[in-house]
Chain A
Amino acid sequence: MSEAVFVGLPRRLVKLTIDGREFEVAEGSTILDACRRMQIDTPTLCQLDNLTPVNVCRVCVVEVEGSRVLVPACSRKVEAGMKVQTDSDRVRHSRRLVLELLASSVDMSLCSPQVHAWMGRYGATPSRFGDQVATAAQPVKIDNDLYVRDYSRCILCYKCVEACGVDAQNTFAIGVVGRGFDAHISTEFDTPLPDSACVYCGNCIGVCPTGALMFKSEHEMRAAGTWDESRQKVTETVCPYCGVGCMLELHVQDNSIVKVTSPLDHSVTSGHLCVKGRFGFEFVQRREAKR
C-alpha cells in the first residue's frame, strides 16, 4: 500500500467585494489573482507568475477601502470583507501617470500590444512633460554573441535581477545599481558580460517585458529590417540535450531559428531554460557543405 501524501491544509475561501461585485477566492490569493478570476483586466509590468512580486512598477494599484494610499494588487493578499475598486478616478490617475512617467523616460515601443492598449485605455500622453526631459537613452550594449542589452528600453522592473538570482538561476550576475533616477541594471563595475558571472541561460531575456534584453539574432534582424513576427512559426519541441525534458518553443522565420522560449506555465521549466536549450540551436541550421 502506498503511503499517505500530505497535500497541505485545505484553503478557506475569503469573500471580498471588487467593483461592487462580491467574490470568493482562496485565502492567500492576491487581489490580482482575484481580479483575474473575475476577468477584470489589470495592467502589470513588474509582475510575472514565475517570479516573486516586487511591486515596484505600481501600475497595478487599486483602491482599498480604509487604506490611505493605493495598494499594489500584485502582492497585497485578499482579506475577508475587503472592498476594492479597480477603476476609480484615483486608480485611473495613478495608472495613467505611471505609464506616462515610464514612457517619457524610456523607449517602450517594443512592449507587448497589451501595454499599448493600457496606455490607450488610461489616456497616457508621455509627451506632455515636454521634450527637454531626461531619458535613459544610451547605446545598446553588445559584448557577446548571444544577446544584447538595450537599457534605453529598461523600465527597471527588477525581473531580470530576480530571474538571475534566487527566483531561477542563482547566478547573481546583475543587480540594481545607483540610486533614484540614475538607478539601472548592471554587472559589478559595469564589467562586460563575458567577464561577469553570467552563464548565458537567457532567463533574463525570457522575463523582460520591454525588449531591453534581446537575442542577438533578433536584434540584428530588427536592425536590418527583416524581423517579421507575422512570418514566424512557433514550433514546440523538447530540448535534445539532457534528460530533464524542458519544453522549447522554437521561433522560426525563413526556415531559421531566430529565438527560443519556453512557456511560463510549463511544469518542468516554469519558463526558464539553460544556455544549451536557449542558445544551443546552431547545429540545427549549419548549412555549409560537409567536407
Chain B
Amino acid sequence: MDIRTTGGPATAEEMAAVDGLLGEPESLWEGGERRASDDHLAYGGRATRSRRHLLLPVLHAIQDRSGWVSRGALEYACRRLSIPPAEAYGVVSFYARFGLQPRGALSLHVCDDIACKCSGAEELCAALENAHGPSGVVWHRSPCLGLCDRAPAALVERAGMQHKDRQIAPFTLAQAESILGGGAWPEPATYSMPRQAQPKLLRRIGAVDPESLESYRLHGGFTALGRAEVIGSDAVIREITESRLLGRGGAAFPTGRKWESVAKAAARPHYLVCNADESEPGTFKDRVLMENDPFAIVEGMAIAALATGCEKGFLYVRTEYPLARRRIENAIAQARAQGILKLEIEVRRGAGAYICGEETALFNSIEGKRGEPRNKPPFPVDVGLFGKPTLVNNVETLLNVVDIVVEGGASFAATGTKDSTGTRLFCASGHVTRPGIYEVAMGTPLRALLDTAGARKVQAVLLGGAAGSFLTPDQIDVPLSFEGTRAIGATLGSGAVLVFDDTADMKQVLLRIARFFRDESCGQCVPCRVGTKRQEEILERMLGGRDGDGRSDVLLLSDIAQAMRDASICGLGQTAANAIASGLTQLKVLNV
C-alpha cells in the first residue's frame, strides 16, 4: 500500500522499539531504506499485510519505550505493517492505555471504581488532585484494576529501555507521593487466600510454586493432559458434556456443546482463545488463578486444543495484570521447553478496554483493530478469530476442564445443583472483613458466603459486577446457581460479589456504574453509544435534585434501558442499564 505519511520521522528509539518486535525492515516498501531495486520492483506486500494483527503488540512496544505513541512512531508502525494511518489512529485512540500526548516515563493509575470507593479511593484521588492537579497528566483515574481484595489499588508503570509495571494494593497516599517523587516501588504482596474448607479449584493456590513446572507436577499437574492424550478428542468432549459445565465468563453457555461445534467445524485452522481480559468491576478471580496457578491454565488450554483440533492458541490478558502475564508467559515457555506443551500459545496484552472481554471484540483486538464487537450470528464456533472456527473459554472454565478430565464428567456433576454443576469462584469485596476469592458449591446460599466473608449491616449486594444487578438484604438467601439467581431476575455474571453496608452512598455507586459504561461503550451502535451517555446525564441531574420531577426521569431511564437491552449489538449495551435499573427499583436509591 502506498502510505502517505506527513508526521515527520520516528525517533531512533521508537524505531528500535518497533524493529525489536518485527525485525529489521527488508525494503523501502516496509519502511526501510531506499535501495536501487525498490524503484522498479514492489514486493513483500502480502507478507507485510499478513502481519497487521501485530499492531497492538507494536503499539505496546512503542508505549513501553517512550511512554506515549507519537505521530512519527505511529506512522512508522503503519509502514512496517502496511496499515493506513487513519485506521491505525482509530485503533490507538480506541484503547484507553495508549497515550497520544507526550507524557513522562512514569505513569500512575489509581483505581476509583466501586470496590476501591468502599476503601477510601475517593479521598485518595482527592488528595492527589490537590497535590498534583487533575487526573490525566501525572496520575490517572482508572476503572477497576482487579485488586478489589486489597483495595484501594493502583498500577504504576515506567517507560524506557527497561519497561516496568507493577500493581500495588493496598495503596496509600504516602506510597503515591514516594513513587511520584521517584522513590522505589513497594513489593507486591503475595495473595493470601481466605481460609475455607476443602477448596477444589483453589487447592493449589498458595501450595504450588507458580514459577516452577516441577512443583506443579508434584501437585498432580499434567496428569489431565496425559489422560486426554490417551482417551482422545471424542472422549474428552463426552466427559465435558457429561459434566454439564457452563461457561464461567458470564454468559453460562454449555462448554461441551461449544467444544463439539468447534471440533466438528470443517474450516481450518481452528483457533483457541483463552479470555483472560477480566475487567468486570469487582472481579479478580482470573488474576488470582493466573498469578498462582498458571500451569493449570496452560494445561486446560492444551486439553481444549487437543479436543477441538485447534492449531494455535491465544491468551488475551488485560494489560493491568502484569504479574499474571509474566507468570503465564513463564508457564508456557517452561511447558514448551519440556516438550509437554505442543500447542503454540501467544499471550496478547489488552490495552485498557472493558469491551474487549466480549469475545468478538476480543477477536478484533487480536487482529489489530478497534475492539468493536461483531454482530452474531455468525457465531465464533463458525466464524471467529481471523474468520476461522474459534473456541473461546474463560480462565476459570479451563481450570474446571482440567479437573473434569481427571475425575470424569459424572463425578464432577455430583457437586452443585442439577442445572449448575461443580463449584464456582466468587470474588467478595467492598464492605467485608475478609475479602478474597471464595469457592463454593453451586447452589450455596449467598448468605452463607456473606457470613464467611464477614459482611455486616448489609444495605445491598451487587452480584455479577457492573453488568449484574443489586440485591436487597431480603434477597440474600438466594442460592448461588444459574437458575437460582435467574429466578429473582439476577445473574451470577462474572462472580463478583460487591457488598455495601449501611454507610455506603448508593447514589455515588450508581453514578460510578453509569460513568463506567459511558467510558467503556465502544461507540459503534446508537442505543449504547448515546444511551449510556444519556443514562449518565439523567442520573446526574436526578442526584443533583434538579428539575424536581424524578418520575419522568425514571420513565426516561427505563425507556433507554429497554432499547439498550433490545437493540444493542453486544452484551455490554444489553446489560448497561441492569445495575442502575435494579438500584432504582429494588433499592429505591432515589425514593422514586
Any chain B CB within 8 A of the CB of A196? yes
Please report which residues of chain B, range 559-587, place their CB below 8 angstroms from some CB of chain A when the two chains form the complex. Answer: 559-560, 562-563, 565-569, 574
Chain B interface residue count, Cβ-Cβ cutoff 8 angstroms: 53
Chain A residues closer than 8 Å to B562, beta-carbon distance: 90, 93-94, 97
Any chain B CB within 8 A of the CB of A98? yes
Given contacts A101-B526, A129-B556, A133-B534, contact A55 B375 (CB under 8 A): yes
Q: How far is the CA of A197 from the CA of B4 in the complex (A)?
A: 6
In the assembled complex, how far is the CB of residue A102 from the closest CB belonging to chain B, in whole angstroms?
A: 6
In the assembled complex, how far is the CB of residue A113 from the closest CB belonging to chain B, in whole angstroms?
A: 21
Q: Within the complex, which residue of A58, A75, A104, A175 is in contact with B525, where a contact is CB–CB below 8 Å?
A: A58
Please report which residues of chain B, range 95-140, place their CB below 8 angstroms from some CB of chain A when the two chains form the complex. Answer: 96, 100
Complex contact A58–B526 (CB within 8 A) = yes
In the assembled complex, how far is the CB of residue A132 from the closest CB belonging to chain B, in whole angstroms?
A: 7
Any chain B CB within 8 A of the CB of A69? yes
Any chain B CB within 8 A of the CB of A156? yes
> Quick check: which of A187-195, A212-220, A233-241, A265-273 contacts chain B, the rest being far away?
A187-195
Q: How far is the CA of A186 from the CA of B100 in the complex (A)?
A: 15
Any chain B CB within 8 A of the CB of A115? no
Given contacts A133-B537, A186-B86, A191-B6, contact A181 B563 (CB under 8 A): no
Chain A residues closer than 8 Å to B86, beta-carbon distance: 172-175, 186-188, 196-197
A164-193: CB near B (< 8 Å → 1, else 0) gives 000000001111111111110011110100
> Quick check: which of B175-183, B263-271, B429-437, B514-522 contacts chain A, the rest being far away?
B514-522
Complex contact A69–B565 (CB within 8 A) = yes
Chain B residues closer than 8 Å to A93, beta-carbon distance: 559, 562-563, 566
Complex contact B523–A97 (CB within 8 A) = no
A81-102: CB near B (< 8 Å → 1, else 0) gives 0000000001001100110011
In the assembled complex, how far is the CB of residue B99 from the closest CB belonging to chain A, in whole angstroms?
A: 13
Q: Within the complex, which residue of A57, A70, A181 is in contact with B566, where a contact is CB–CB below 8 Å?
A: A70
Chain A residues closer than 8 Å to B74, beta-carbon distance: 188
Given contacts A69-B574, A180-B523, A197-B4, contact A128 B556 (CB under 8 A): yes
Q: How far is the CA of A227 from the CA of B94 in the complex (A)?
A: 39
Q: Considering residues B86, B90, B377, B534, which has the most beta carbons from chain A within 10 angstroms of its beta carbon?
A: B86
Chain A residues closer than 8 Å to B7, beta-carbon distance: 188-189
Any chain A CB within 8 A of the CB of B532? yes
Complex contact B547–A176 (CB within 8 A) = no
Q: How far is the CA of A183 from the CA of B518 in the complex (A)?
A: 12
Cβ-closest chain A residue relative to B565: A69
Chain A residues closer than 8 Å to B375, beta-carbon distance: 55, 72, 75
Given contacts A57-B526, A101-B527, contact A69 B566 (CB under 8 A): yes
Complex contact A178–B88 (CB within 8 A) = no
B1-41: CB near A (< 8 Å → 1, else 0) gives 00110110000000000000000000000000000000000
Complex contact A104–B523 (CB within 8 A) = no
Q: How far is the CA of A105 from the CA of B534 in the complex (A)?
A: 10
Complex contact A179–B89 (CB within 8 A) = no
In the assembled complex, how far is the CB of residue B575 from the closest CB belonging to chain A, in whole angstroms?
A: 11
Complex contact A58–B89 (CB within 8 A) = no
Complex contact A175–B567 (CB within 8 A) = no
Any chain B CB within 8 A of the CB of A154? no
Any chain B CB within 8 A of the CB of A244? no
Complex contact B523–A134 (CB within 8 A) = no
Complex contact A56–B524 (CB within 8 A) = yes
B385-429: CB near A (< 8 Å → 1, else 0) gives 000000000000000000000000000000000000000000000
Given contacts A178-B93, A180-B519, contact A101 B87 (CB under 8 A): no
Q: How far is the CA of A133 from the CA of B541 in the complex (A)?
A: 10
Complex contact B93–A55 (CB within 8 A) = no
6 examples of A-B residue contacts, CB within 8 angstroms: A94-B562, A97-B567, A128-B556, A156-B523, A172-B84, A188-B89
Pairs A-B, 7 closest by C-beta atoms? A183-B523, A172-B84, A97-B563, A175-B90, A101-B530, A188-B85, A94-B567
Residues on A lying within 8 angstroms of B by beta carbon are 55-59, 61, 69-70, 72, 75-76, 90, 93-94, 97-98, 101-102, 104-105, 128-130, 132-134, 155-156, 172-183, 186-189, 191, 195-197
